[in-house]
């Protein structure tokens, strides 16, 4: 019971963060494409991509987790953690080793 309550709380908090980070990311993308406040919107937009993706992943996985039966399986939890770590490592790799185009 405590594990499902924890997953529900994680889901609620990650939904709030998902909405806030998502709206910020979209807004800075629009401002960047309109060339409004360019140095600042560029920095915020490129800093927010990994946190936004990770919060989206946490929200999605917690939604899946809360949909399971009460008994819970540790193997599924381990697979979710491995999946999250692989996606995080891939995002960091792309952010570090793939060059960005700077809009001027």
CA–CA gap between residue 95 and residue 50 (Å, rounded): 8
1 pLDDT higher than 60: no
List, for residues 14-48, the tens digit of each pLDDT value. 999 999 999 999 999 899 888 888 888 888 888 88
pTM summary value: 0.76
Place of tokens 């960091």: 92
Please provide the distance, in angstroms rounded to a whole number, between the alpha carbons at the two ends of the chain. Answer: 54
Mean pLDDT, all residues of the chain: 85
b/e burial code for range 53-78 (CB count within 10 A of at least 16 → b): bbbbbbbebbeebeeeeeeeeeeeee
List, for residues 55-99, the tens digit of each pLDDT value. 999 898 888 888 777 666 778 878 888 988 999 899 888 888 887
């Amino acid at each position: 019971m405590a594990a499902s309550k924890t997953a529900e709380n994680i889901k609620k908090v990650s939904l709030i963060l998902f909405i806030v980070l998502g709206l910020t990311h979209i807004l800075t993308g629009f401002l960047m494409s309109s060339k409004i406040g360019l140095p600042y919107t560029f920095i915020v937009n490129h800093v927010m991509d990994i946190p936004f993706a990770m919060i989206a992943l946490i929200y999605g996985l917690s939604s899946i987790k809360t949909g399971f039966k009460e008994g819970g399986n540790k193997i599924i939890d381990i697979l979710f953690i491995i999946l999250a770590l692989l996606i995080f490592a891939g995002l960091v790799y792309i952010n570090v080793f793939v060059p960005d185009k700077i809009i001027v």
